[in-house]
Structure 1
Amino acid sequence: MTRFLTTVSALAWLAACGDGQPLFEDVQSDAQVADDDDLDLPPGTEDVSASSDIFRFEARNSQGGGLVTDVSYNAANDTFSVDNLGFDGENVYTRKTGALATLGTTRVYEADATVRDFLTGDPVSQIVPYVALYGVSKNRVDGDPRTSFAIVRTGGYAGYGFGGYVYERNGGTVLPNEGQATFSGDYAGVRVFAPARSQLEYVTGKMSIDIDFEDFNANDAVKGAITNRRFFDENGVRIVTGTGPDDLQSPNVPIIVVEGSKSLSTAGEIEVELQNFILNESGVLEPYEGGKFTGIIAGDTTSGSGGEIVGVVVLESEDPRFEGITAQETGGVILYR
């Protein structure tokens, strides 16, 4: 077994180890990265460079995010262990079965619905569902996945509930000084709701990111979009888009192209805003879903397979099916050339 250790966290994904290996644990620092390009990134590795291993984790917030501080994966029985979330079983998440075992290339796990009173053996109902998503690169660096991400969310609260996300790069990156590149891959996420809808939904799709490493003159230009989204309920039943009262709109979510403001750091980290629009009842375009993607470029983008991008999207929107309800969508990607 090998471990990737940092000053404040340990994060490792190993397909070969049978015992539980830490993904990230005892994360306490909320400091923003001290990068010379001043991106607004999640907390994690400090003093990064193009040659750095980098990990990022969700900052704690008033809505319950950022509470996941210790996760490990057990390859022998394909389970996750998740610490610091109340009433999520005995902290061991097992692989979901059927249509929800995998969302695209991302695996899905869930916590137990009940545990036993340690003294009497009586059943104790848990706050369900708690689910974990994880994605792992097809490429390796010194035996470890080159990139990976994990997302933990719950639909058991009358609000967004508690959870967190993490993503990382093992090994550095090589970025060009000119030219353009395109990356694409599967997108998978979880949707939770506030303030009074205790439910969880899943989303699949595709995502692409294009980078112009030469222009704008003030900053590298980044564009792209989340496309072909499909929504599913807790049982894996498709939520069909259309005009019915229970249908959910699924427009593409493009990256906002910005000139004059950094979107790509010299270390290979990305921070971009996303926003889409829909027609309201008056036929006027209005904002629908908005949020941010943060990620990391890994590998050599100038040769070979051309590197990859790992990252996490967080979107919020008004749910058109229910008055006064907002949806939070957290999705992860690993994109390839």
Structure 2
Amino acid sequence: MKPTFVALATCAFLAACGGDVFNVEEEDTDSGTDTETDTGTPIDSDRTIPPGTASPSPQVAIFRSEPTSTEDGKQGNGFATGISYDSQNDTFTVDNLGFDGDNTYSRGTAVSSLGPYAVYEADAQFPDTVTQNPINQFTHRAIYGVSTSGNTQFAIVRTGAYVDYGFGGFVYQRDNSVTLPSTGQALFTGNLAGMRDYRGRGGLEYTTADITIAIDFDDFNDATGTRGDAVRGHISNRVIYDTAGNDITSNVLGRINAEENINLTALPNANFVVGPNVMDENGEIVGSINSYYVNSSGDTEVFEEGNYYAILSGDNADEIVGVVVMESTIDPTADSVRETGGFIVYN
């Protein structure tokens, strides 16, 4: 079964998104952690917010990008820069990635959309400047999402052309302010779409899922008087597709089941780890995420683990944009596999 490829109107769904929607290079001055000079009152904790807006506050737009990494196998993280969308031509521009044609990504052919989010692909070949002989390019894909209000956006760029994870990046942003409730709870629902790349072999795959997020604006209480809101999230109905749009979930589960002597019939649900100090006064949310399975001995083990990054938006705090990054070592065909998914959820 192939995913539903819902073509987006020229700029009806992507309204207010022409031009440089993600100007990362120009403003990327943050060290990646909250500082005492930031506007607002960030939570005093050891959590790490991705680089981006240097002085966030509830009153300003905020963007974040994947931090660059020196960690073994992840040296290509955060290399994608200059990300922008051209609504007139429905093209996506990405800079700083080798062998992706002329940096302009066209709307996907086999897979043009994953649910409400658009898919773009770099040129498969690019001509030699002198001889015009074709040069094969790496497989680069981009997923772009923008909310129905136009106030939040995300983009993910990955490639499966390297033995390690390769070069890419993600960006997510709020283009307006937020007014956070001081009491009560809220439930947000929406869709997630992402890509899976491998460490230890090449390969790129698409993913889709449903996601719900709930926030308790009353608790946890923080001794310093800053926010300590509890956040829970649940990712379910997860499906994996190859780049031709074929559902390969059963193939992936089959090789895992054979290796681990288990009987998974679906990808495990993933859940946010609930605890204090995950959301600050600016509406930024950062926390951990895990999924689990039962092994052949009946014991519960970690299937995937990682982090989620998100921003609340709106006068009524009625939408959230974010990115989830999870890794797993259970697939026998690779050292590890990473899923990078973007989401927008609504109250």
Q: Determine the C-alpha separation between the residues in 1 that align with 2:88 and 2:272.
A: 39
1:132 equivalenced with 2:138 (yes/no): no
Percent identity over paired residues: 44
- The count of corresponding residues between Structure 1 and Structure 2 is 309
Report deviation, 1:24: 2.1
Kept in 2, the 8 Å contact 1:44–1:57? The answer is: yes
Aligned with 2:181 (options 170, 176, 181)? 176
Report deviation, 1:23: 2.4
Kept in 2, the 8 Å contact 1:14–1:21? The answer is: no
Residue 312 of structure 1 aligns to a residue whose secondary structure is: strand
Aligned with 1:200 (options 201, 204, 214)? 204
Match in the other structure for 1:232: 241
1:186 equivalenced with 2:191 (yes/no): yes
Match in the other structure for 2:153: 148
Q: Determine the C-alpha separation between the residues in 1 that align with 2:332 and 2:134.
A: 35
Q: Determine the C-alpha separation between the residues in 2 that align with 1:270 and 1:130.
A: 29
1:25–1:173 CA distance, 2 compared to 1 (3 A): closer
Match in the other structure for 1:37: 43
Structure with the greater relative contact order (CA < 8 A, sep ≥ 6): 1 or 2?
Answer: 2
Match in the other structure for 1:91: 103
**Alignment-mate amino acid for residue 132 of structure 1:** A
1:274 equivalenced with 2:289 (yes/no): yes
Which segment is superposed worse, 182-191 or 219-228?
219-228
Kept in 2, the 8 Å contact 1:271–1:295? The answer is: yes
**Alignment-mate amino acid for residue 29 of structure 1:** T
Gaps of 5+ in 2: 1-12, 223-227, 258-263
Residue 310 of structure 1 aligns to a residue whose secondary structure is: strand
Aligned with 2:68 (options 42, 60, 63)? 60
Moved over 4 A (4+): 246-249
1:294 equivalenced with 2:293 (yes/no): no
Residue 244 of structure 1 aligns to a residue whose secondary structure is: helix
1:191–1:279 CA distance, 2 compared to 1 (3 A): same
Q: Determine the C-alpha separation between the residues in 2 that align with 1:120 and 1:22.
A: 36
Kept in 2, the 8 Å contact 1:22–1:70? The answer is: no
Report deviation, 1:203: 0.4
Q: Determine the C-alpha separation between the residues in 1 that align with 2:285 and 2:298.
A: 35
1:165 equivalenced with 2:170 (yes/no): yes
Deviations 1:48-69 (A, max 9, x none): 1111110001110131110011
Q: Determine the C-alpha separation between the residues in 1 that align with 2:90 and 2:131.
A: 30
1:308 equivalenced with 2:319 (yes/no): yes
**How big is the alpha-carbon RMSD for the aligned residues of Structure 1 and Structure 2?**
2.0
Alignment of 1:250-265 (within 5 A): 250-258=267-275, 261-265=276-280
Residue 329 of structure 1 aligns to a residue whose secondary structure is: strand
Which segment is superposed worse, 37-46 or 84-93?
37-46
Report deviation, 1:71: 1.6
Aligned with 1:112 (options 102, 112, 123)? 123
Report deviation, 1:239: 1.2
Match in the other structure for 1:50: 58
Q: Determine the C-alpha separation between the residues in 1 that align with 2:21 and 2:190.
A: 26
Which segment is superposed worse, 214-223 or 202-211?
214-223
Gaps of 5+ in 1: 1-12, 140-144
Kept in 1, the 8 Å contact 2:30–2:54? The answer is: no
Report deviation, 1:89: 1.1
Report deviation, 1:45: 0.6
Q: Determine the C-alpha separation between the residues in 2 that align with 1:169 and 1:16.
A: 13
Deviations 1:190-230 (A, max 9, x none): 000002x1100110011111000002223211111111110
Q: Determine the C-alpha separation between the residues in 1 that align with 2:126 and 2:256.
A: 34
Match in the other structure for 1:327: 337
